[in-house]
Amino acid sequence: MGEKRKVAVAMSGGVDSSLSALLLKKEGYEVLGVSFLLFDGQEKALWHAKGIAENLEIPHTIIDLRETFKKEIIVAFLQGYSQGKTPNPCALCNRIIKFGIVAEFVKRDFGAEFYATGHYVRKGEYKGYLLFRVSKNLAKDQSYFLALVKGEVIEHLLFPVGEFESKEEVKKLAEKNGLKGFQKSESQDVCFFMGKTLKEFLKEHLGEKEGEIIYQGKVVGRHRGIHFYTIGQRKGLNLPLGKPVYVIKLEAETNRVYLGEEKELEKKEFYLEDINFQLPFAFWERPLAQIRYRTEKIQVKDIVREGEAWKVILERSAKRITPGQVCAFYESDFLLGGGIIKD
């Protein structure tokens, strides 16, 4: 018999990554678990992961990445909000930490040929190895959050739970195989909030900075910080203007929040920075753009490089194009790459 192929599984202590490790072991891989400490207070989850690895009889390693995570993700997140942007820390973490530093670490230090996670996404061949959306349960699809991951790592990635129809199916199979003790609660919040709301987290780290709210050229109110607002926001404005109004612009230089009508949120053009091509741009044919998670994809008319940025021109208008958010590109269900919306 030949030597088993080695795979490192990113284990968070949750059911998705735990079942991924189990399934890969059953398939005959030599499996090792790896967890990463990203911030204080995360230790309990990692002990869950360690216990599950012991139960599966696979080696387990914890990597301390708190310093890097703070600098590259948390500080960047806070800087983005202070500049009037709405950053996506999960997409950045996937590129820099999970599929960057950790993927390189397990390849270099453990000699792992493959790296697996519990993401709901699939891998296939389309002019090369690409990620593509889960077809059976699009509500669970996580491909959008992987749009910034470098294309060269995709060939070595595995996503064992990407083929399952539902989370319930994953849980049942885990329980059937005796997997217990995993983190059962699923939070939709950013992991490093540690139970705080977005507003609470921003207030704790950025404080308050009062400024003007502008509508039709006039000051109509005061705000406590542009970081508490996002493009397209309607709720929580608490301004009796007699009709629905929306946040259409956040201006860090003047510390102003600008309001307008819903139609003013519609744009056909925007700029991307930090663009990432998982499929080389020369092979793109008819890309679709997704400007926020779970929003409708829109046909792209053209993408043009202008200096360091890329100008995206859509076939029709989109609402709430928000600086700091990720724009992911697809052809059919295949992910082509993505970038960060600049303005």
Q: Where does a domain end: 133, 167, 183? A: 183
For the segment 45-76, what is each residue's pLDDT rounded down to a tens digit? 899 999 999 999 999 999 999 999 999 999 99
Query: What are 55's two structure tokens?
Result: 């139960």
Does residue 234 sit in the same domain as residue 329?
A: no
pTM: 0.92
Q: Which residues constitute the domain of residue 235?
A: 209-264
Once rounded to an integer, what is the mean pLDDT over residues 231-254? 92
Does residue 39 sit in the same domain as residue 150?
A: yes
CA max distance for the chain: 77
For the segment 244-272, what is each residue's pLDDT rounded down to a tens digit? 999 999 999 999 999 999 999 999 999 99
- Residues with a catalytic annotation lie at 93, 191
Does residue 27 sit in the same domain as residue 171?
A: yes
Does residue 228 sit in the same domain as residue 326?
A: no
d(CA 22, CA 31): 9
CATH number at residue 233: 2.30.30.280
What was the pLDDT predicted at 72? 97
**Burial zone of 232 (CB within 10 Å; 0-12 exposed, 13-18 middle, 19+ buried):** middle
Does residue 174 sit in the same domain as residue 213?
A: no
Q: How far is CA 262 from the centre of its chain?
A: 27
For the segment 296-321, what is each residue's pLDDT rounded down to a tens digit? 999 999 999 998 899 999 999 999 99
CATH number at residue 68: 3.40.50.620
Does residue 253 sit in the same domain as residue 300?
A: no
pLDDT tier at 343, thresholds 50, 70, 90: confident
